[in-house]
Each structure stands twice: as structure tokens, then as C-alpha cells.
Amino acid sequence: MKKITLFILIMFNFNFTFAEKAQKNIPGKLIGDWVLNCDNENQKCIANQTIRIQEGAPIAMINVMHYDENTILELVLPLMMNLTRPVQVEIDNNIVLKYPYNICTQIACYVVINNDKQLLDKLKIGKVANVKTEGGDKRRFNFTFSLKGFAKSIEAIKYGLK
């Protein structure tokens, strides 16, 4: 458990760096609608998709990584969400599961999903994922992510780029 917690804290820092790089258009490898960034040896990779507001700033993202035999899906959502209401993930308009928030930092709120085979399998064959949440003021938010290239991205993060 300590390894996972440490990994999550490290990934929080990586996520903000990645968001800044993406905003500056530093390229990663594009797989469908997912951006894959790997270390210099192409062994450790993270797949990401970011939703941006018109001005280009990131508002929500999904990160997927593989660490120590765990596939971790991280939903990065805006601040000021109603933390008492779980985040709902729908694949192709079918409710899949609800997840609680794990942590909020000064920059974003996170839902970290570890090795959820049911969710990962549905994401691999789906076309669109809707991440639904509620703001503190009861407004509903729906962040729509394309799943084009998700299955290939999962393979790349598990086994590195060939």
C-alpha cells in the first residue's frame, strides 16, 4: 500500500508537468485520441487525454499508467466539486461504475482507480467515456473522452513502445 501511495503522489507531480507540456504543444506519441509519453528507454509510459477550455487550459483529464503489475486509471477533475457525491463513469451511455474522490490538491481533485478489470475492459471496447460529476453548487458536469486508441495505449503502457 505504501508503494501505491508513493506512486500516486509522484504521479500527481508528473500530471501537472504533463499538463504544462501539453499546453505548450510538446509532442508525445499520438495513439488514436490518446497521447503517450514514455521515459527515454520507452519502458515506463503514461497515456493521457485532456479536455481543455477554449483558452487552452486543461479542465479535466484521464491518465492511465502501469506500475508494479497494477494498471491505474486516474481521473483528474476541477476543484469545487461536491466530494460527497461519487463520480460516475459511463461507457457509450451505459452506466458502468461510481467512484469516490481520493484527494484534492490546490490544482485539481482526483479519482484513482486501481486494477478495475471491469472498467478497463469496457473502456477498451467502447467509443466514448462520459465522466459525470456534480459541483459544490449542484451544477452537473459531463466530461466526454474519446476511447479511440485506448486499447492500444493500454498495451503500450504495459509493455513499453516497441
Diameter of the chain by CA atoms? 47
How far from 98 is each of 52, 85, 88, CA to CA, in Å? 24, 9, 4
SS3 156: helix
Choice among 46-50, 71-75, 109-113, 154-158 with the minimum mean pLDDT: 154-158
pLDDT of residue 39: 81
Q: What mean pLDDT is predicted for residues 135-156?
A: 94
> Residue 101 corresponds to which cell in the numbers above?
474522490
Map out the domains of the chain with their CATH numbers. Answer: 2-159 (2.60.40.1880)
Q: What is d(CA 136, CA 52) in angstroms, rounded to the nearest whole number?
A: 21
pLDDT of residue 2: 43
The string of pLDDT tens digits covering residues 43-83 is 788 999 999 988 888 999 999 998 888 899 999 999 999 99
Confidence grade of residue 20 (pLDDT, cut at 50, 70, 90): very low
Q: What is d(CA 45, CA 48) in angstroms, rounded to the nearest whole number?
A: 10
SS3 27: coil
Cβ atoms 103, 109 nearer than 8 A: yes
